[in-house]
Structure 1
Amino acid sequence: MELTAAEPKDKEKLVGYAFYEIYRDGEKIQAGYGVEAICDKSACTVKVWRGLDALCGEQLGGDEYGCGGYFCGAHIYGAPEGQLGQRCFLCRDNGTDPLASSPDAMVVTFGPDGAPVGAAHRS
């Protein structure tokens, strides 16, 4: 699927950060909340707008906190406490996928009645 930046009908009336160009990984890209793109998570095909709400990190183009990619709501998370912005699934947890299986993860299965399956019940 090939996407191009949306061209507003009257650019002179636009204000703010709808369309601009930045450098990310040495490549010039169009960004802004008026620029349509696909989520930067591989294999994800969800449409995003390259606004600050989809940006990983605190600075455009990437910084020490994030990669500068643009992600859909399913692949971007709030920044750790005390930091600004949002993080993609890799930058949030320093390169580990939080959705991957972990040997120390707690898994609970719920039955149709909403009660945990296989759990000991206290009376």
Structure 2
Amino acid sequence: MGYAFYTLPNGREAGYDVPDTCNLDGCNEQIDRGMAYLCGEEPGGDEYGCGGYFCYGHLFYAYPPDGKPQRCPACIAKDDDADGGVR
């Protein structure tokens, strides 16, 4: 199975061949629904992130590094371990 196009259990299309825009309200940056733009580790969400897709300007790792995957600003803010800094 490749990751260019697939359908999530909730029916949403995902993959690096699926065009989208950043999921942050007000941002119209063109992206795709590939893993590089994913908040968390699993499409559809997991314990680390919401599963949304965000441009590189709105996707961060916590600082100091906490070993968790990249997350959007809202998911970093919700994380009790994050100290508020991003890189």
1:1-123 to structure 2, matched below 5 A, reads 16-23=2-9, 27-79=10-62, 80-83=65-68, 85-94=69-78
CA-based RMSD of the aligned residues comes to 2.1
Question: How many positions carry a matched residue from both structures?
Answer: 79
TM-score, with structure 2 as normaliser:
0.79
Letter of the aligned partner of 2:55 in structure 1?
C
Where do 5+ consecutive residues of structure 2 fail to align?
none
Q: Which has the higher contact order (CA 8 A, sep 6+)?
A: 2
Amino-acid identity (%): 47
SS of corresponding position for 2:32: strand
Specify every segment of 5 or more residues in structure 1 that has no aligned partner in the other structure, as ranges: 1-14, 99-123
Instruction: Return structure 1 stretches of 4+ with deviation > 4 angstroms.
Output: none
